Amino acid sequence: MATTELEQVIIGDGAAAEPAVILEGVDERLAHLRIEGAPRTIYEELWHITFWQKVSLDWVDGFATPYPLHAADGFPTEEQAAREDWAALRQRFFHGVRQAATVARDVDRHDQTVVCPSRPGLPDRTMTVREQLENLAAHNAYHFGRIVLLRQIAGEWPPTSGGFTW
């Protein structure tokens, strides 16, 4: 059970359905399904979430992982997707989200300032650990909303456990 609202929003049932429910029942076929008009697959959306989750955690831990040169660098290439199956990607995501929730639970770190590299040519930004985690939570929520929409269009929503259906 989450102990802070920030932790709850990152890992649990906060403002929207929790990640575990959103990904429930998504198999390899559905993860890679190309939906007409959609720029990304569910796999690509989760890979992107996991990519930025790792970058955010690096920044929080004091590692100045560079900001990608291009937006496309935050999505998998065909080669990257071929090297990591859906189950492994899910596992990597859930490992990272548990790490983020652990940081969110440590309220003594929330006011610590961290350096967040910016897009090339722009000065680095500084923010608190809490602000970086809030940014991560908002980013994840946005992309999980896209995953829900992809599932709805594919006729694969709600998951067996229910999820949110309004």
Q: Over the stretch 116-160, which tens digit does the pLDDT of each residue have? A: 999 888 999 999 999 999 999 999 999 999 999 999 999 999 998
Helix (H, G, I), strand (E, B) or coil at 35: coil
Looking at residue 31, what is its pLDDT?
98
Instruction: Read off the DSSP letter of residue 166.
Output: -
Position 1 pLDDT exceeds 60: no
Position 15 pLDDT exceeds 80: no
Q: Which tokens belong to 58?
A: 């690096």
Q: Which conformational region is residue 109 in: left (phi greater than 0), alpha (psi within -120 to 50 degrees), or beta?
A: alpha
Position 2 pLDDT exceeds 60: no
Task: Give pLDDT tens digits for 52-104.
Answer: 999 999 999 999 999 999 989 999 999 999 999 999 999 999 999 999 999 99
Fold of 5-153: Four Helix Bundle (Hemerythrin (Met), subunit A) (1.20.120)
Q: Computed from CA positions of residues 80, 85, 91, 97, in that sequence, does the dihedral angle turn out positive or negative?
A: positive
Looking at residue 165, what is its pLDDT?
61
Looking at residue 12, what is its pLDDT?
73
**3-state secondary structure labels for all residues of 108-129:** HHCCCEEEECCCCCCCCEEEEH
Question: Are 164 and 17 spatial neighbours (Cβ–Cβ below 8 Å)?
Answer: yes
Binned at pLDDT 50, 70 and 90, residue 17 comes out as: confident
Question: Among 3-7, 18-22, 130-134, 154-158, which is the least confidently predicted range?
Answer: 3-7
For the chain, which residues make up each domain, given as ranges? 5-153
Tokens 């859906």 belong to which residue?
86
